[in-house]
Amino acid sequence: MISATPSVFDASLSRSGDAGIDAFVGRHAPDIDYTYYGAGKVALRDGLDGLVEPGENVLVPAYLSPAVVEPFRDLGLEPRFYAIEETLAPDFADLESRIDDDTVAVMSVNYFGFPQPGLERLASLTNEYDCYHIDDNAHGPISVADGSLLGTHGDLGFTTLRKLLPVPDGAILYRVADEVKAAFSPSPLAGSAERIATTDCRFVTTSAAETALGPLYQSIESMLDDGADDPSSVDPGARYEATKAPMSKFTAMVTDAADPDAIRAARRENYRTWQQVFADREDITIFYERLSEGISPYEFPVRARDPDAFLAALHDCGVVGAHTWPILRESVFEADGYDTATRLSQEVVTLPVHQSIEPAAIEAAGDRLQQ
């Protein structure tokens, strides 16, 4: 079985040498101020507080999970969605048409752990219109592009640790611009809990059950699902409010013990193995053919001609962690002007590459797919 998330029993959590997330950030972003949080959305809210006023607006890409804009609403800001290109770059004509005197920030998104195309142009645009550039790097906590840690390309940025590590929560707020550093005043939600909580124990127990029961556990989880494939079933506000807690003590311990270099190497190897599996499939288009040095992929995204059939075939071959992405906000899904985002949300299927997967398991799944 190839599951959706890494295991708490993975060997990459054994400290050796200069390991830990702190050491990694210190090597790759030595001049950046950063703070741990329980969730990236809460980190983003704290990072913007003190810089913005109610009634202003923030531009975000339409190809985005629903709850990401909730921090803006929390601060009294209007989220405005801009269109994207097939490459996931901003549609700059559409983006610029939505900027007005009340635009306080523009968000870029590093999808799947890769830098969003057009970052330099977007930075020039935010400079031209004198607004902040938010670098959403939820997918790539340890991705480095052109010598810079993703998440630190804007005036402020954030990343999400639970997309990298077997933890229940965890995020980092990066403060890059001097103005952002000066205005920052952490809320009580900043930092981590002082002791292990019941939720930490429950997370470890659940992870152990998933490891032991495999497909049976996944089947139980799917029966308890609330219909995540349907945009109308998602309550972004509730999801956001549920994340309002400091980072757990368990996450802090795992973060300190993790070996980012080993994790990145394992994810890159698994990514390349999936590339070999789908190299000759005419019905599957690999989104990123090139895995640049320093990139730690979150998942292996492809565009499928028949996503439902492809997902069914993957499940039959033991790949239970594949899914389409993302669930779009209802105001975006199939709305005029967001055709590309809607189409991609239906066609893009992501496959797991996390560090608990052995390349041989991917190869075996590939062999079964071809039978």
Q: How many CA atoms lie within 13 A of 167 on its CB side?
A: 26
Name the strand (E) or helix (H) holding 46: helix 40-48
Into how many domains does the chain fold? 1
Show the domain range for 95: 18-183
Distance CA 19, CA 12 (A): 10
pLDDT value, residue 4: 84
Work out the pLDDT band at 226, boundaries 50, 70, 90.
very low
Please indicate, yes or no, if residue 296 is contained in any of the structural domains: no
Query: 162-173 pLDDT, tens per residue?
Result: 999 999 999 999
Exposure of 290 by Cβ count < 10 A (0-12 exposed, 13-18 middle, 19+ buried)?
exposed
- DSSP secondary structure of 99-139: --TTEEEEEEE-GGGSPPTTHHHHHHHHHHTT-EEEEEETT
pLDDT band at 228 (very low <50, low <70, confident <90, very high): very low
Residue 357: both structure tokens together: 């997967």
Q: What is the pLDDT of residue 350?
A: 98
- Residue 20 pLDDT > 90, yes or no? yes
Report the share of the chain in percent with pLDDT over 70: 89
Domain annotation covers residue 275: no
Give residue 217's pLDDT band: very low, low, confident or very high (50, 70, 90). Answer: very low
- Please name which of 133, 152, 132, 129 lies closest in space to residue 141, comparing C-alpha atoms: 152
Q: Which of 170, 350, 349 is nearest to 267 (CA)?
A: 350
pLDDT (tens digit, 9 = 90+) per residue, 95-108? 999 999 999 999 99
Does 221 score more than 50 pLDDT?
no
- pTM of this prediction? 0.92
* Locus of tokens 């299927």: 349
**Digit-coded pLDDT (tens) for 135-156:** 999 999 999 999 999 999 999 9
Q: Tell me, what DSSP letter sits at residue 77?
A: P
Indicate the average pLDDT of the chain: 91
Question: Up-side HSE of residue 307: CA atoms within 13 Å toward CB?
Answer: 17
What is the phi-psi region of residue 191: left when phi exceeds 0, alpha when psi lies from -120 to 50, beta otherwise? left
CATH of residue 118 = 3.40.640.10
Residue 140: which of 255, 295, 28, 345 has the closest Cα?
295
CB 112 within 8 A of CB 287: yes
Measure the CA–CA gap between 318 and 332, rounded to whole angstroms: 33
Residue 98, token pair as written in the block: 């939505």
Interatomic CA distance for residues 10 and 208, integer angstroms:
11
In a domain, 256, yes or no: no
CB atoms closer than 10 angstroms to residue 143: 27
pLDDT in tens, 312-354: 999 999 999 899 999 999 889 889 999 999 999 999 999 999 9
| Residue 297 domain-assigned (yes or no) | no
**Could you tell me which residues come within 8 angstroms of residue 328 by beta carbon, excluding any fewer than 6 positions away?**
62, 63, 64, 66, 231, 338, 341, 342, 345
Residue 182: φ, ψ to 5°? -70, -35
Q: Is residue 120 part of a domain?
A: yes
The four Cα atoms 98, 100, 103, 108 give a dihedral, to 10 degrees, of 30
